[in-house]
Structure 1
């Protein structure tokens, strides 16, 4: 336990210091925001002077755990009144968006002559929740470590591009309507961290809506894993696909409802029915914001720009094609289905 804390301390402190500096810099450049500044500083330093392996454990912890804490605490700032604003059209948007993303990723993957391991991991990672979805899908389709690793790299790289681009695209298309910008970001950007980072570049209300749309996608993971197990069974002519899924769940390799999503829902219920004092919501908002900014600094520190250059042309075409289709389809569906 003590050794683990020591290993994480240096990287965590590096991310925390960047977060503090970014908050001070918001006084000079307030239009950008502390979260954006934090991730940009992290990217610059993480690819120049802060490349030491000793930072890895701490930045990985900050990126993963603090974002989970941030999502959990966000439940204390949201009520069912906020969720009701999404209507059934919000759920329909997510279902159609995910279905089209999965179909597109599979079809493009086959067209580019990628194997099942790559195109199913890419489909799940882009449609649901990035690396976490790939980790859940990998065991039930028997994907190789190499296929899963490459998929995670491609999904994260494209997610970073979309994370930075969608706040601008959303504002250009939808103006300053926070629900619609939140739908675009939460319905398309790959990982939880990237969704929060992207929405934070807009404003806190957009973060709330983007988080709700993202959680809808995460909850769909159970369906996606089951469907992919069936696809794998059909491809391999296996008859025990459902049994494989059950066995992987028992082994703890698949977590259909992450703990932080569960606590988000619990806190949201408490906040909706028991009228919690304002200071609880304010404190949760403050803690959630700091968790976000430190985590985003860590994401920046961990982002390896060299990976962009190492990805081959075929992989780049695949990743960009899926990302472009996701974005265009989301823009069309939001225009058709969601009315703020």
Structure 2
């Protein structure tokens, strides 16, 4: 009897890990697209949970950055420069408008200032990366960071499914969809996932514009430091953007690199599916508990504003 109980305890201990690793391995198959990988991770989070919760956030962080660098080997510098110029005005207008509207909503809804600012920055620039970069500048607490991340990740996950459907419904060109998704979807992971599903040109435009948008973390962080009067805050510079640009330049002007580039891009897209799976495993019920309706409403209204405004802009101007 005691031996049977010991065996059952061992099964209960190892079974969640086996299921988790099997699901993670499945996301590496070509048939599993990024949205499916995210749903699979979400299903794991809501059922057995993440048995490796202590290490997956770090793995996700590095895997996403490596995926973005790998995608650079599928880009052409001339096309990227053209896309960057077209997305420049969209970037300035959307970031400024989102931050101002976010500050107004924060005051109207009486949201704690640091939480409100993190939600606004996450929506305006690049989701979790912006929140991670801005939080030490304002010395945000764990609760403030978790609330902002929970809201951004929730809406970011929805965007991965909603945006491609809306794009096809409105018959957006790949150029239009690339610009729209880069401006209106929070995290780089979902931008790349949605654009990759829409088409190769959409992926090139979206990745270039989104990463150029991420550079705005630095001036926004500096302004944040002045607004919150915190001279001791540290600004995290997104170094992987430089390596992405280097990969793109090598692919454009070094013939030897272009021969292996397709394999690197394929590996990056595969790694992206695994990244989205790991992100999904972090979206537990506990992650969303205690968010509060006011911060959630702020996040939704900001997302609707930037999504609608950017869609109208690309629909009629591009």
- Other-structure match for 1:116: 113
Alpha-carbon separation, structure 1, partners of 2:177 and 2:209: 11
Q: Check the 8 A contact 2:147/2:288 in 1, yes or no.
A: no
How big is the shift at 1:227? 1.3
Change (3 A) 1:41 1:140: closer
Unaligned stretches of 5+ residues in structure 1: 1-8, 27-32, 234-240
Q: How many residues align?
A: 302
Alignment of 1:13-52 (within 5 A): 13-14=21-22, 16-20=24-28, 23=30, 26=31, 34-49=33-48, 51-52=49-50
Relative to structure 1, is the Cα distance of residues 77 and 155 closer, same or farther in structure 2, using a 3 angstrom cutoff?
A: same
Instruction: Answer yes or no: is 1:296 the counterpart of 2:276.
Output: yes
Residues 1:59 and 2:39 aligned together: no
1:283 aligns with 2:263: yes
TM-score if structure 1 supplies the norm length? Answer: 0.81
Deviation at 1:326, TM superposition (A): 1.2
In the alignment, what sits opposite 2:124? 127
CA contact (8 A) 1:170 1:184 kept: no
Are the aligned partners of 1:42 and 1:299 in contact in 2 as well (CA < 8 Å)? yes
The CA deviation at 1:310 is: 4.9
Provide structure 2 residue ranges, at least 5 long, that are not aligned to the other structure. 1-16
Contact 2:251 2:257 (C-alpha < 8 Å) held by counterparts: no
1:1-340 mapped onto 2 (5 Å cutoff): 13-14=21-22, 16-20=24-28, 23=30, 26=31, 34-49=33-48, 51-52=49-50, 54-86=51-83, 88-173=85-170, 175-233=171-229, 244=231, 247-249=232-234, 254-256=235-237, 258-305=238-285, 307-308=287-288, 310-337=290-317, 339=318
Separation in 2, partners of 1:131, 1:102: 16
TM-score by length of 2: 0.86
Q: Does the residue aligned with 2:144 lie in a helix, a strand or coil?
A: helix
Contact 2:195 2:203 in 1 (8 A): yes
Shift of 1:226: 1.1
Change (3 A) 1:206 1:14: farther
Three-state SS of the structure 2 residue aligned to 1:86 is: helix
Alpha-carbon distance change, 323 to 285 in structure 1, aligned in 2, over 3 angstroms: same
- Contact between 1:105 and 1:322, CA under 8 Å: does it hold in 2? yes
